[in-house]
Structure 1
Amino acid sequence: MTTDVPVSPAHVAALATPPPPRWARWAAHAVPLVALPSSLWRLAMAAGVPVGYSEEVLRTDYDLPGIGYLILPMISLLQEAVALLTLGLVSQWGLVVPRWVPVIGGRPVNTWAAVVPAALGALAMTAITMSQYMVWDTVDEGNLRGGHRAFMGWMYAPLLLWGPLLAAVTVSYALRRRRRP
């Protein structure tokens, strides 16, 4: 039994939305990539790869061994999942909800339901990463040994691009959805 979703003017408008510009596609695909290094760093730490922390710091700050084995991978998976949502702003599933989604599958995505969370996410990521950048010289001071602190910095530095990339893709999406063919 199939349930056909009625074709409304909003559905037709969503399907008639012009394709995203090439730069927006590149920017959207870059977001999960800029989130990846910090996720890999966290996964390495949870897997026991020596990242420069003493056993005491790993135990007290990251609960390794312990619940940190679950929390660090979950943070990394959540971070990548949220970053992958950016692809919706340049994909068909950002215009029409996939049919497999219960209740709302096959219906057009309300423009503001995509733009508002994306814009808030861009603002939040920019604020969070810039605030951390401003205090970087004090982050884990004394806890990381040798070149590990610099390596951690290089693994987290790409996150500075997440907010601006998401903001640019969000503006592109909003403008495309506003236009009429």
Structure 2
Amino acid sequence: MTRTDRILGAALSIAVTAVGLLWWTNPASYPFGAHDRVTVSLSHLIEHAAAGAMTAAAGLLGLVLVFAPRPVLRAGAIVQLLFFGVVMSDAGIMSLLGYGLALLGPVALVAVVVMACLRGRWPGFACLAALVALVSAGVVSGVSSPDVMRLVTSNIIAGFASYAGRLGWTLANAAAFAVWALIAVKAFSDGERPRWASAASVARWGRVATIGAAMCPLPYALYRLTWLTPWPTDSALTGALDPGTRLQGVIIAFAALLGAVLTLGLISRWGEVFPRWVPFYHGRPVPVRPPVVAGGLIAGACCLATPGLVVNAVENGQLEMLLLWPYPVWAVLLGAAVLAYWLRRGAHGREGVPDTAGSGLHR
């Protein structure tokens, strides 16, 4: 570990210890347990005394580990990842990412379509026509009228505000998990590349993992797209869906579809070289770090959401939810896809250089 890593790990561990002591000694400060509104987690089954003691112990252990020899650090890092990634994790992180992308996704989509049209590329005009047709159908049906769009936006913002404190703890736990993930990666890195990490092997298993990861958001996208039909999937539970609810479902569906498309970029030509319709950057290599960081964050969020989803599905007797939100499989496949992209373009000394041999898709 570098000096910076030790300082970061020590600062995190001190903060974790303080939080654990606070929860242990002040039950009112504990955001989880039986009174937690978020039940897609393990932490809603753990009360303040046990959680506080475990959290304080995790903090103290972290202080020891950042100054420990590598073998001890490796074992302790796994313990820390299990604690923050399983015991104290919840699926709220995916809700935060999903609705955040739902608010920003339409803006990004319109920007991409406009740029493609300005460059005179036919895919841009095709997407523009499809977008206009979709919006027109929504306006005629009343689903995407200005009033409904304002209502949906205000509802999402109000939801974030209502769960702001709870989501803050979710983000804090995710940050602790991310720090220990980085420490673990460095602790287990020895500079030697195993056979499965060779360029030829990565091109094979990386393509399979990427296509599999891109398919994982599709069940949820299709589930939400049924809200546009007279037979929405939730109609038996909620009755007739109002236009605002339908639009919200469609926005989330398109966010999931956007995630699938971006995942395919990890094996596509446009994931290595900016397409011709991108102003200023067209023809230049795509930097390796942004796709790796973004994909790694989503894969990590899927890991954090997995334990809570499994517990919730078992508690409610709804194991089919694991098919609708396949976080366990998605986390593994997306993590493998991102690793393959990094190994193919960065770790083999080719950062920023297109690797056409490893691409499975093209512009």
SS for the counterpart of 2:230 is: coil
Summarize the alignment of residues 62-73 of structure 1 with structure 2, pairs less than 5 Å apart.
64-73=241-250
How far does residue 82 in structure 1 lie from its aligned partner after superposition? Answer: 1.0
What runs of 5+ residues in structure 2 fail to find an aligned partner?
Answer: 1-118, 120-198, 351-363
Aligned-CA RMSD value: 2.8
One-letter identity of the residue aligned with 1:161: V
CA distance 1:53–1:136, change in 2 (3 Å): farther
Task: Indicate the residue corresponding to 2:229 in structure 1.
Answer: 47
Task: Indicate the residue corresponding to 2:279 in structure 1.
Answer: 102
Give distance in 2, aligned partners of 1:86 and 1:125. 14
Q: What's the CA shift string for 1:12-47, capped at 9, x where partnerless?
A: xxxxxx675222112111123222122222222442
Task: Indicate the residue corresponding to 2:205 in structure 1.
Answer: 23
Task: Indicate the residue corresponding to 2:170 in structure 1.
Answer: none
CA distance 1:123–1:156, change in 2 (3 Å): same
One-letter identity of the residue aligned with 1:162: W
Summarize the alignment of residues 57-96 of structure 1 with structure 2, pairs less than 5 Å apart.
57-58=238-239, 64-96=241-273
Give distance in 1, aligned partners of 2:322 and 2:208. 22
SS for the counterpart of 1:48 is: coil
Q: What's the CA shift string for 1:72-101, capped at 9, x where partnerless?
A: 111111111112211111122121111211
The answer to whether the 8 Å contact 1:41/1:155 transfers is: no
Q: Which has the larger radius of gyration?
A: 2
The number of residues matched between the two structures is 151
Q: Percent of pairs identical after alignment? A: 31
Question: Which structure's relative contact order is higher, taking Cα pairs within 8 Å and 6+ residues apart?
Answer: 1
Task: Indicate the residue corresponding to 2:334 in structure 1.
Answer: 166
Q: Which contiguous aligned blocks of 4+ residues in structure 1 show a shift greater than 6 angstroms?
A: none
CA distance 1:50–1:112, change in 2 (3 Å): closer
Give distance in 1, aligned partners of 2:292 and 2:262. 12
How far does residue 131 in structure 1 lie from its aligned partner after superposition? Answer: 2.2
Task: Indicate the residue corresponding to 1:123 in structure 2.
Answer: 300
What runs of 5+ residues in structure 1 fail to find an aligned partner?
Answer: 3-17, 142-148
Give distance in 2, aligned partners of 1:124 and 1:154. 16
